[in-house]
Amino acid sequence: MSVVPARSWGVLAVLCGAIFLEGIDVAMLNVALPSIRADLGLSTGMLSGVVSAYVLGYGGFMLLGGRVADLLGRRRVFLFFLGVFLLFSGLGGFAEEGWVLLVARFVTGVAAAFMTPAGLSLITTTFPEGRQRNQALLIYAGTAAGGFALGLVIGGLLTAFGWRWVFFAPVLFSAALLIAAIPLLKETGRPSSARGFDLAGALSVTGAMMLLVYGVVRLEHPENGWPLTVAVFAGGFALLAAFVAIERRSASPLVRLGILRSGPLVRANIMAALLTASFFGFQFLVTLYLQELRGWSTIQTGLALLAAAADVILAPILTPWLVNRFGNAKVVLAGLLSGLLAYALFIGVGLDWTYAAMLPSMLLIGVMFALVYGPVTIVATDGIAEHEQGLAGGLINTSFQFGAALGLSVVTAVNVAALGAATGQEAGLAALRTALIVPLTATLLGAIVAAVGLLARTRTADRVPVNAAT
């Protein structure tokens, strides 16, 4: 087995730092929202818009970001948008009015949409396909998941000093990453030799993704009216259909539709969306339970969810061994079954539960992330040509992001509908238990997709390599 140069591990450290930054940035803001509203006097709609603006920018531009990295150069795109991320995170810290926060979060989301797939494709083109790349991706995935979990704790601590530090801390971290990245990162391969830029395809797919994500966000607020929500979804699907028609005729398509003929890639993206839908929906419900029904502080809540970050340790240590021993398909299925058990155990949650009663679910969720996030990322990028690695990274990250938005919106809508006009702790607990069915169902569907992939794999060959697709 060839030895990976020390520089490559330095590159991985920088890119892991970037995905960790993206994770803690989202989680820290969620913790700081009540303090921001109290200080700036924001309405509930404006506060919700601060969160939605980031999701719209991230989810809307992710697919475009991945392809642009292939076309213009991954290093160039990563460094430029890391700088944009730094600047607009700082702008959010100086905000005195709601609209400034909206602009800052939207542009920060757009920056992350370009930066994240560029970073992932730098890993997949730096490390050779096989065990070395798998290990690198598993470390990267564990770091990403750890960022979301640790961000809750870090956000609670920073908010105690002042909510503006939730924006200023990423500025300092981004600056350190930028200083390290400039000498370490090298352009991997030549930019794609596409004969031109597919502007019509870029506009249609970006518009489609933004409308679809906005439609998902509107699900959280059924009181705003269903006709407009349905119209937003209809517009999104119409633009998506136009995008497909444009790509079929384009001489240099933004997305080569043939890439979607890969069953493993499609299954990996479906499982990615269902994974994050279940986790973010569950995280939101647990936060409601601990803070609103039990009266726990933000720091206590963050520490309670810290056990779910067990994947930070398991992903780089246990998961590579399991993947090498059993293959991605079986590991992913085992991870999703762990998550299914975690959510099933939590359905019986009560107002008198001790943390010891919650701990098994938290730990099992950490196991789920450790066994699913990294291997699914491997499957989504394995066997993809080097000049399309940015596109593959954009697809899988779009699935992760879209799933997170969908899960959060659906559990919110179900929780609100189940609660109705009822008040009190018992009513809140009953509504929460009903909404917990959403992450349970999402994980069950993910396990079914994984099982289908495993059956398809066993039918096509008696024996497959370790890195075989799911």
* Best CA proximity match to 439, nearest among 364, 352, 359, 379: 364
Tell me the C-alpha distance between 381 and 264, whole Å: 10
Please give the angle made by the CA atoms of 312, 60 and 179, to the nearest 5 degrees: 50
Q: Which of 78-82, 257-261, 265-269, 454-458 has the lowest mean pLDDT?
A: 454-458
What does the pLDDT look like over 310-361, one tens digit per residue? Answer: 877 888 788 888 988 898 889 999 999 999 999 999 999 999 999 999 999 9
pLDDT exceeds 60 at position 193 = no
**Residues 283-309: b if buried by 16+ CB within 10 A, e if exposed:** bbbbbbbbeebeebebbbbbebbbbbb
Chain mean pLDDT for the chain: 84
Interhelix angle 199-218/226-249, nearest 10 degrees? 160
Residue 162's φ and ψ, nearest 5 degrees, are: 140, 130
pTM score, whole prediction: 0.82
| pLDDT tier at 176, thresholds 50, 70, 90 | very high
Which residue is listed with tokens 């502007």?
Answer: 199
pLDDT > 70: percent of the chain: 92
- What was the pLDDT predicted at 223? 66
In DSSP notation, 356-410 reads HHHHHHHHHHHHHHHHHHHHHHHHHHTT--GGGHHHHHHHHHHHHHHHHHHHHHH
- What was the pLDDT predicted at 374? 87
Helix spans in 223-262 (H): 226-249
Q: Can you tell me the mean pLDDT for 51-80?
A: 84
- What was the pLDDT predicted at 60? 77
3-state secondary structure of 183: helix
What does the pLDDT look like over 207-228, one tens digit per residue? Answer: 888 888 788 777 766 666 788 8
Please give the angle made by the CA atoms of 59, 437 and 296, to the nearest 5 degrees: 80
What residues have CB less than 8 Å from 150, skipping those under 6 apart? 23, 24, 27, 306, 309, 312
Sign of CA dihedral 332, 336, 339, 345: negative
Residue 4's φ and ψ, nearest 5 degrees, are: -80, 130
Q: Can you tell me the mean pLDDT for 439-454?
A: 94
Tell me the C-alpha distance between 222 and 211, whole Å: 17
CATH domain 6-185+201-460 topology: Growth Hormone; Chain: A; (1.20.1250)
Would you list the domain boundaries of the chain?
6-185+201-460
pLDDT exceeds 90 at position 462 = no
Residue 295's φ and ψ, nearest 5 degrees, are: 75, 25
pLDDT > 90: percent of the chain: 33
Q: Can you tell me the mean pLDDT for 440-455?
A: 93
